[in-house]
Structure 1
Amino acid sequence: MSAAGIVLVGLVIAVGLVGILVPILPGGILVIAAIGVWAFVEGGAVAWVTFGIAAACFAAAAVVKYVWPARRMRDAQVRTSVLVVGALAGIVGFFVIPVVGLVIGFVGGVFGAELVSRGDLRRAWASTVHAVKGVALSVGVELTGALLATVAWAVGVYLTV
């Protein structure tokens, strides 16, 4: 692959990493897709082994991203229905107040749903804090997987140049 192609793949990976933190784009998918395109164009065993390692990092992070925070929220007795209300409110918030509205809507939705269902201000706030921590943990796990995939790609590029 040419130097310009490698730079382009690197830019797509960078956009994907930002997309994980700012949920506008499917960040992790962009990262793994860019590495897949690089492996396809580059060809050879090193490129495909690199892609395999990156895909394994991505897949492992995808599993952990859903299992670990879900378990923590279940232990904190945050119900799934409350998270669904928070997610829906976050989507609405995203369109009302671009980007930051997602977070504001999610927090407000979780807090409101807990307050309505349980009627306890303290419990509603505790559930909201646990939900926000769970989302932050999920984002952190996805970002870690994408960064490990990016490191694998950088090593693969080094070995193939």
Structure 2
Amino acid sequence: MGVWQLVAVGLVMLLGLLGVLVPGVPGQAIVWAAVLWWALTDTSPLAWGVLIGATAVLLLDQALKPLLPPRRPRETGAPRRTPMLGGIAAILGFFVVPVVGAVIGYVGAIYGAERLRLGSRGAGWASVRSVMRATGYSVLVELFACLLVAGGWLGAVIWG
């Protein structure tokens, strides 16, 4: 597989990760399709193993979705950009501090944005709790599953 095709797969995967943050965009399907594209062009056993693992992780996430609270972004009182900032920070945090950086980045960015908006520490944490109850858990679980897939793909490309 050529370098430009790997870059294209990576960009599609990034588009899928950002799609998880936007309601109505099938981010998980885009991430899975990027892995499928890569596995179909790089027919090594490692590529197929990553595809099987990605499929399992994303199916598990789909099975967990009904157990999580539904997304109700209007009930938070926070602007739309707050969860979006949290999601972007989770993506960056996942690759800076592998795996746990996603949770730290997500919650930390939401707290930072709300603290700046509301002006006090207590109000910032109260808003974080509200955002996490209304949208945070379902977005975080879906984003984390997609980040695990993206991390597995990236690891396979770099070390495989």
1:148 Cα deviation after fit: 0.4
1:40 aligns with 2:45: no
1:57 is aligned to 2:57:
yes
Aligned residue identity for 2:20: I
State the AA in 2 paired with 1:158.
I
- 2:158 aligns with 158
The structure with the largest helix share of the pair is: 1
Give 1:67's aligned amino acid.
L
Q: Which of structure 1's runs of 4+ aligned residues deviate more than 6 A?
A: 129-132
The alignment covers a number of residue pairs equal to 111
Superposition deviation, residue 16 in structure 1: 0.6
Identity of aligned residues (%): 31
Distance in 2, matches of 1:17 and 1:149, equals 10
- What is the match of residue 8 of structure 1? 8
In 2, distance between residues paired with 1:15 and 1:51?
Answer: 18
The equivalent residue for 2:30 is 30
**Cα 1:134/1:60, change in 2 over 3 Å:** farther
Residue-by-residue CA offset, 1:38-96 (whole Å, 9 max, x unaligned): 001111211100111111111111211222336xxxxxxxxxxxx8xx79x9xxxxxxx
CA distance in 2, matches of 1:132, 1:154: 29
Give unmatched runs, 5+ long, in structure 1. 71-82, 90-99, 104-128
**Aligned residue number for residue 20 of structure 1:** 20
Shift of 1:132: 6.8
Q: Distance in 2 between matches of 1:66 and 1:131?
A: 19
* Matches of 1:66 and 1:149, distance apart in 2: 21
Larger radius of gyration: 1
Report the 3-state secondary structure (helix = DSSP H, G, I; strand = E; otherwise coil) of the residue aligned with 2:23.
coil
CA-CA distance at 1:134 after TM superposition = 4.6
- For residues 112-157 of structure 1, the C-alpha deviation after alignment (integer angstroms, 9 at most, x for no partner) is xxxxxxxxxxxxxxxxx87971532111110010000111111221
Aligned pairs for 1:83-122 within 5 A:
100=80
SS across alignment from 1:17:
helix
Q: What TM-score do the two structures reach when normalised by structure 1?
A: 0.59
CA contact (8 A) 1:65 1:139 kept: no
SS in 2 for 1:43: coil
CA distance in 1, matches of 2:39, 2:21: 25
- Distance of 1:134 and 1:16 partners within structure 2: 22
1:137 and 2:107 equivalent?
no
